Amino acid sequence: MSIPTQVQELIDGSGNNFHAKVARWFMAEGWRVSVSPYYMDQTQQKAREIDLVVEKSVSIAAGLGDVVVRLFVECKFVPGYSVFWFTSKNKKAVEQVLCTSGPFRPNNQYTNEHHYLVGDRVAKLFTSSNNRGPDAEPFYKALNQALNGLVSLRLQSAKGSRPAGSSYSVLAVLDFPLVVCSSFAKMFSADFDGQRETEEIRENFQLEVEYAYVSPAGHAAEDLFLLDFVEYDQLPAIAAALETDARVAGFLAT
């Protein structure tokens, strides 16, 4: 039976192909993967979905327990050109975020190994060649869905990637919003302060966002978040950085 042209066009034009490709990568690397989970958006009382929620348990030496890394992932196929404006990273503010939400400690050499504190630049603004207003801007939608999913689902118990019934205790849960891009080939960095040349983006980076939201308990809140923007081919690099974060968290938690 031949596939109807309209069906093939649906497949070829869908972002689900890249979505599935990213999910398969995490599965192959031993992550527990939840595909397109739905949740209730407290702001608008609407059901929404996020592309992936993935979790992995990192065992801490001497059987002390596990640190669970949980990622709230949006997958973006990047067909056109995009520009991100970068500025200096406010490391004190980032450190405060880390020390408020986890076992990390201020003015600590181990905390300084966290991947959020490595590197001096952070993206603040962005635009793309297929930008048709804020609601249609692909990266705006990606960051909103990743952050909305995180703030709505982070109070749920983390399952990690160990078999059910495992006796290992969970020392800490590290939650991260993540945008996985098909390629950085058409992505460029401009300087927010106007002192650097525009250049190609070649390495994974973070976008800094002040995000106002309604908590699951119905309270208004506003927090600083960093979102990792990761190229598909550089997923191993972010996975290694997150494992380092987990081991540092486990050390500080014990």
Q: Can you read off the two tokens belonging to residue 169? A: 């205790």
| 163-to-3, 56, 157, 166, 239 alpha-carbon distances in Å | 40, 11, 15, 6, 21
Q: Cα angle at 116 between 114 and 119, to 5 degrees? A: 100
Q: pTM of this prediction?
A: 0.90
User: What is the tens place of the pLDDT at every residue in 173-211?
Assistant: 999 999 999 999 999 999 999 889 999 999 999 999 999
Burial 29-39 (b: 16+ CB within 10 A, else e): eebbbebeeeb
pLDDT given for residue 15 in this prediction: 63
pLDDT given for residue 254 in this prediction: 80
Report the alpha-carbon distance of residue 162 to residue 124 in Å, rounded.
37
Q: Which residues of the chain have pLDDT under 70?
A: 1, 3, 5-15, 41-45, 62, 130-136, 163-167
Q: Residue length, the chain?
A: 254
CA 102 from chain center: how many Å? Answer: 17
| 177-to-5, 12, 101, 120 alpha-carbon distances in Å | 37, 27, 14, 20
pLDDT given for residue 51 in this prediction: 94
pLDDT given for residue 109 in this prediction: 93
pLDDT given for residue 191 in this prediction: 96
pLDDT given for residue 13 in this prediction: 58
User: What is the tens place of the pLDDT at every residue in 106-134?
Assistant: 999 999 999 999 999 999 999 987 666 55
